[in-house]
């Protein structure tokens, strides 16, 4: 869908411009037809609504013995007029419901499309953004923003526009049937009401913003604490966490109380203005009845019109308040949508063509910020089907190499190539398809073991899932569970041990069957016995693939074809395990140190 030009997508008008195309979706004639039908139903309901008091007036005039002034209704009995009045009210409601029915799919489709757009955009944002963003706060921004769009779509079409239409029609009727004095009172009342409502609502929106900020903060603290449940227990920090949460909720409580107080002030002020206008026109009508220029039916018709516009005007206060809040919430969401993706596909990028899966780093330089370089001219090559291990002290840049290969970040200098193709010139999707990663801490979805293994290839058969589970030495364990492969693993896989999670992760990667395998500290968090079991599974996963292993424990990489030693972002040694030990340099020193630690 082509978006309208807008200078500032975060401004109120920019937000409305962003939303308007969803009311008239390109390429969906059926939805456009439903919009037209809903508008037609809306117009008919308003016409009937404005005509309804005429039936009421005519019936009263009949009962009061006055000469009816509404020529079209002359000759109808009071009973017939009363029935007509009831039917008109019924038709008004009926067409309103028909309007909602026609618009339902338009609104829900817009909601779905925007939610999907936001979801996809968040996944397209860089790792740099995600590691600095609070997940709980992010989820609230999305939730409130999407709800705001639904509200704005519905009420822009069915509240503000219809309200203006109804007020104009009532003003025309009052000026035509009575005189301009009634119109003057009505216009002044509406002007004062709207000005007061908008002014107070602006004040209330600021308070509501504070309430939302406190709500987001409290929600983030709650999610953060629950995700770190074990850590909270380890340090006996339940009271501390409860205190932090309560402090955030105290801010929410204060803002919520002020919101309620301001609502009371708004409602009372609106009532004063509306009641003043109502009394003024009723007094004028009563005087007209007394001097014989108006009938009793005219008196009740004036009352009916004033009551009729009171409802939508009262509604205007809440609608305007909600629209302002929706615009605030949507502004946050559209600001999020305006966040540029740091890593994007190059224009005209094609799919990665993997022949042998040779991986080459050519003078690669990178820093997470411009002031501190992490990699300073790293070069190495892993031949097709070969294995390379990357070792070094913490902070040397080992894991950064894995992130750059997967293109979570782009290099700031040099190039990374797979089979001679610069990974910046191929699509990210094809690059990710070619690389399987087994991280230090495998995180699982809160679903079944079957689902988590099949995540590597969703269309895999159950037999294929079982086969990779056997290769990863996890099948026997799964079969021992009461629900087998349908066993739920819990949030982030917390129902499984570290070794069990790693083996599920290995099975998942084996099912993906990538030509390149990246093992990023895949066993460093495990005990020695579990590590030895995992190593066998990893060896089977590595068969026939190009393997890069990032490791802290040197014993796990002794069989690699080549080992490079990183120090402060530079390759200081390279060679086989035997060659590096014989050289007596940094690798040999690290090996000796680890041997002593294990012996102790």
Clarify whether residues 147 and 289 are in a common domain.
Answer: yes
What pLDDT does residue 382 have?
92
Domain count, the chain: 2
> What average pLDDT does this structure show over 20-35?
77
> What secondary structure letter does DSSP report for 386?
-
- In this model, does residue 190 exceed pLDDT 50? yes
Quickly state the pLDDT bin for 216 (edges 50, 70, 90): confident
pLDDT at residue 3 in the model:
39
- Would the pLDDT of 9 be above 50? no
- CATH number reported for the structural domain that contains residue 114 in this entry: 1.20.1560.10
Q: Is 566 exposed, middle or buried (0-12, 13-18, 19+ CB in 10 A)?
A: buried
Average pLDDT rounded to a whole number, residues 591-598: 81
Predicted confidence band at 66 (pLDDT cuts at 50, 70, 90)?
A: low
Q: Looking at the predicted structure, is the pLDDT value of residue 8 above 90?
A: no
Query: What is the three-class DSSP state of 160?
Result: helix
Kindly state whether residue 6 falls inside one of the protein's structural domains. Answer: no
Q: Do 564 and 573 touch, CB atoms closer than 8 A?
A: yes
pLDDT band at residue 79 under the 50/70/90 scheme: confident
**What is the pLDDT averaged over residues 325-332?**
73
Q: Average the pLDDT over 223-248 and give the result.
A: 83
| One domain, residues 80 and 224 | yes
- Confirm whether 348 is domain-assigned: no
- 351 found inside a domain: no
Q: Strand 375-382 and strand 387-392: pairing?
A: unpaired
Mean pLDDT in residue range 428-456: 87
pLDDT in tens, 117-165: 777 777 766 666 655 555 555 666 777 777 777 677 667 666 677 777 8
Please tell me the distance from the alpha carbon of residue 342 to that of residue 451, in angstroms, as a whole number. 31
Residue 475 domain-assigned (yes or no): yes
Cα–Cα distance between 573 and 565 in angstroms, integer?
Answer: 5
Domain-located, residue 346: no
Residue 432 near residue 515, CB atoms below 8 Å:
no
Residue 416 pLDDT > 90:
yes
Cβ pair 398, 594 in contact under 8 A: no
- Nearest in space to 18 (alpha carbons), one of 169, 187, 218, 156: 156
Greatest mean pLDDT range, 134-138, 327-331, 563-567, 595-599:
563-567
Residues 403 and 496 in one domain: yes
Lowest mean pLDDT among 97-101, 231-235, 319-323: 319-323
Asked if 522 and 438 count as a contact pair (C-beta separation under 8 A), the reply is yes
Report yes or no on 347 lying in a domain: no
Bridge partners for 376 per DSSP: 365
Q: Considering the domain boundaries, does residue 343 fall inside one? A: no
Helix (H) or strand (E) holding 508: helix 498-512
pLDDT band with cut points at 50, 70 and 90 for residue 419: very high
Neighbour tally for 344: CB within 10 Å:
13
pLDDT at 5 over 60: no
Q: Are residues 467 and 568 in the same domain?
A: yes
pLDDT higher for 574 or 323? Answer: 574
CATH code for the domain in which residue 546 is found: 3.40.50.300
Do 423 and 567 fall within a single domain? yes
3 state DSSP class of 440: coil
Ordered DSSP codes for 448-468: BHHHHHHTT-TT--HHHHHHH
State the chain's mean pLDDT as an integer: 81
Quote the domain boundaries for residue 550.
359-599
Radius of gyration of the chain (CA): 35
Asked if 203 and 132 sit in the same domain, the reply is yes
pLDDT digits (tens, 9 = 90+) for 454-507: 988 888 899 999 998 888 888 988 999 888 999 888 766 677 887 888 888 888
User: Are residues 121 and 248 both part of a single domain?
Assistant: yes
| pLDDT tens for each residue of 261-289 | 888 888 888 888 888 888 898 899 899 88
List Cα–Cα distances, 226 to 232, 252, 276, 408, in angstroms.
Answer: 9, 20, 54, 28
Residues 280 and 212 in one domain: yes
- The whole-number average pLDDT for the span 578-587 is 89
Same-domain check for residues 208 and 275? yes
Are both 409 and 327 inside the same structural domain?
Answer: no
Statement to judge: residues 21 and 66 lie in one domain = yes
How does pLDDT run across 351-386, given as a tens digit for each residue?
999 988 999 999 999 988 777 788 888 999 999 989
In a domain, 352, yes or no: no
pLDDT of residue 29: 83
Distance CA 353, CA 418 (A): 9
Highest mean pLDDT of the ranges 49-53, 255-259, 415-419 = 415-419
Same domain flag for 315 and 369: no
Q: DSSP letter at 373? A: -
Residue 200 pLDDT: 85
Range from 38-52, 74-88, 418-432 carrying the lowest mean pLDDT = 74-88
Q: Is pLDDT above 90 for 560?
A: no
pTM summary value: 0.61
Lowest average pLDDT, out of 204-218, 311-325, 399-413, goes to: 311-325
Given this model, what pLDDT does residue 71 score?
52
């Amino acid at each position: 869908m082509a978006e309208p030009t807008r200078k500032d997508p975060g401004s109120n008008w920019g937000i409305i411009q962003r939303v308007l195309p969803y009311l008239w979706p390109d390429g969906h004639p059926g939805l456009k037809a439903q919009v037209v039908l809903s508008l037609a139903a809306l117009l008919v309901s308003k016409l009937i609504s404005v005509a309804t008091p005429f039936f009421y007036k005519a019936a009263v005039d009949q009962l009061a013995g006055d000469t009816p002034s509404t020529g079209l209704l002359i000759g109808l009995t009071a009973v017939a007029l009363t029935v007509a009045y009831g039917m008109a009210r019924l038709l008004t409601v009926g067409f309103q419901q028909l309007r909602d029915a026609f618009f339902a799919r338009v609104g829900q489709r817009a909601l779905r499309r925007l939610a999907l757009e936001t979801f996809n955009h968040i996944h397209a944002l860089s790792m740099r953004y995600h590691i600095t963003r609070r997940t709980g706060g992010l989820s609230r921004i999305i939730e409130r923003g999407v709800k705001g769009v639904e509200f704005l779509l519905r009420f822009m079409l069915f509240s503000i526009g219809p309200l203006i239409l109804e007020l104009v029609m009532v003003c025309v009727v009052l000026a035509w049937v009575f005189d301009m004095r009634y119109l003057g009172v009505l216009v002044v009342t509406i002007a004062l009401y709207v000005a007061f409502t908008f002014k107070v609502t602006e004040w209330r929106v600021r308070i509501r913003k504070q309430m939302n900020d406190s709500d987001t903060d409290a929600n983030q603290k709650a999610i953060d604490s629950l995700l770190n449940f074990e850590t909270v227990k380890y340090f006996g920090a339940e009271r501390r966490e409860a205190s932090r949460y309560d402090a955030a909720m105290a801010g929410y409580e204060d803002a919520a109380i002020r919101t309620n107080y301001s609502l009371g002030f708004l409602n009372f002020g609106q009532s004063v203005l509306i009641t003043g206008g109502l009394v003024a026109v009723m007094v004028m009508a009563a005087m007209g009845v007394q001097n014989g220029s108006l009938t009793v039916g005219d008196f009740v018709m004036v009352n009916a019109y004033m009551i009729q516009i009171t409802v939508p005007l009262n509604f205007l206060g809440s609608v305007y308040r909600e629209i302002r809040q929706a615009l605030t919430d949507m502004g946050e969401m559209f600001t999020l949508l305006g966040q540029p993706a740091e890593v994007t596909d190059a224009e005209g990028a094609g799919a990665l063509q993997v022949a042998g899966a040779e991986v080459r780093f050519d003078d690669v330089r990178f820093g997470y910020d411009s002031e501190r370089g992490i990699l300073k001219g790293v070069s190495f090559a892993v031949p097709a089907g070969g294995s390379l291990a990357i070792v070094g002290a913490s902070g040397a840049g080992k894991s950064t190499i894995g992130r750059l290969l997967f293109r979570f970040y782009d290099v700031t200098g040099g190039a990374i190539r797979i089979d001679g193709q610069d990974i910046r010139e191929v699509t990210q999707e094809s690059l990710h398809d070619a690389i399987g990663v087994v991280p230090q801490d495998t995180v699982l979805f809160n679903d079944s073991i079957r689902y988590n293994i099949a995540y590597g290839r969703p269309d895999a058969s159950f037999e294929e899932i079982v086969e990779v589970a056997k290769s990863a030495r996890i099948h026997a364990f799964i079969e021992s569970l009461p629900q087998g492969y349908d066993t739920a693993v819990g949030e982030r896989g917390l129902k499984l041990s570290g070794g069990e999670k790693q083996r599920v992760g290995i099975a998942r990667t084996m099912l993906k069957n990538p030509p390149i395998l990246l093992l990023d500290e895949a066993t460093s968090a495990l005990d020695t016995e579990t590590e030895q079991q995992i190593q066998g599974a990893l060896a089977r996963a590595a068969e026939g693939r190009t393997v890069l292993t990032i490791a802290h424990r040197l014993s796990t990489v002794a069989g690699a074809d080549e080992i490079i030693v990183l120090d402060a972002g530079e390759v200081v040694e390279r060679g086989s395990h035997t060659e590096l030990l014989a050289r007596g340099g940094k690798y040999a020193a690290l090996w000796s140190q680890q041997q002593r630690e294990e012996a102790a």
